[in-house]
A and B are shown apart, each in its own frame.
Chain A
């Protein structure tokens, strides 16, 4: 009996999560379409958002101000607008991580001195970031961006760190290649 009811609860939770995922996905796709029509330059679309703006998007300060106005319509409008921006940030972060990793994989294929431990650590951080982004995608719809401030800042910090580590690795291997070419 307990087994059946927990399986039922599990199925309902899974269904709710799938529905939320679909809703968040379509909301972010809709947002991207709207942006496509008017933004002047999309070439740097995958660049990382400056950290102070990540903090602002997920902060509770604006919600507190809107709540003081005591208008349910304004509050609904605010939550809808801010969730769309937060979802776009998650999309952008995912895209930036993917680009950083694919650039790194390309460089690794050409490099002669690959350290297994470093590569494994980078891959684990990459997998962690992908999972957090997927979780954020769901939680933004479920709880609103204002409750996810810490998680968003952690994600942003980790993304910046991975980017920096990979940049250092790339410049290090370029220097070694140049030294090797000079000595031969």
Chain B
């Protein structure tokens, strides 16, 4: 009973996050990167001011953690073709120079910080491997267009 009572606000906070914030981001990869950015690198805790204000700090933290893990598994399950399209959409939304963006992502691999804690090791490896491939595909297309 007490677990059910505690889960209800987390579910509400999760839905609030989906409707108010995540629905405004155009692609799954963008949503994942956004959710990963709400995690504190030093503590691993999630923080979202608006959500914590509407609910509580703990409820907001839990909702963000769940949303992050779900977004991660959704992106990891994308086919390479869909992931490449997602990456292209994310690149366009960043408004950066495509060449600079692709070079930086290939060198720095910033997507590695988008991996949540406590996810399956093979899925984490599939995620980074697919992103490396998606980046190579976009660079290949870029070369062709030039």
Is A88 a contact partner of B136 (Cβ separation < 8 A)? no
Chain B residue at minimum C-beta to C-beta distance from A62: B80
Total A-B Cβ pairs within 8 A: 80
Report if B117 contacts A (CB, 8 A).
Answer: yes
- Return the CB mask of A96-118 against B: 1 if under 8 Å, else 0: 00000000000000000000000
- Return the CB mask of B13-25 against A: 1 if under 8 Å, else 0: 0000000000000
Chain B residue at minimum C-beta to C-beta distance from A61: B79
* A87-138 residues at the B interface, CB under 8 angstroms: 88-89, 92
What are 11 contact pairs spanning A and B, CB under 8 A? A43-B118, A50-B120, A53-B77, A53-B120, A69-B137, A85-B122, A85-B125, A85-B126, A85-B129, A89-B122, A92-B121
Is A84 a contact partner of B79 (Cβ separation < 8 A)? no
- Which of B77, B121, B140 is in CB contact (< 8 Å) with A35? B121
Name the residue among B73, B118, B129, B136 with the largest chain A CB count within 10 angstroms: B129
- Which of A41, A47, A56, A88 is in CB contact (< 8 Å) with B117? A41
- Which of A31, A40, A44, A62 is in CB contact (< 8 Å) with B125? A31
Give the chain B neighbours of A44 by CB distance below 8 A: 118, 120-121
Report if A183 contacts B (CB, 8 A).
Answer: no
Total residues of chain B contacting the partner, CB 8 A: 26
Measured CB to CB, the closest approach of chain A to B145, in angstroms, equals 13
Contact stretch, chosen from A1-9, A75-83, A174-182 = A75-83
- Return the CB mask of B77-100 against A: 1 if under 8 Å, else 0: 101110000000000000000000
Chain B interface mostly helix, strand, loop or mixed?
A: helix
Is B125 a contact partner of A35 (Cβ separation < 8 A)? yes
A88 to B131, CA, bound (A): 17
Is A88 a contact partner of B125 (Cβ separation < 8 A)? yes
- Which of B79, B117, B118 is in CB contact (< 8 Å) with A62? B79
A88 to B122, CA, bound (A): 6
A35 to B122, CA, bound (A): 10
Measured CB to CB, the closest approach of chain B to A48, in angstroms, equals 8
Is A84 a contact partner of B125 (Cβ separation < 8 A)? yes
A173 to B121, CA, bound (A): 32
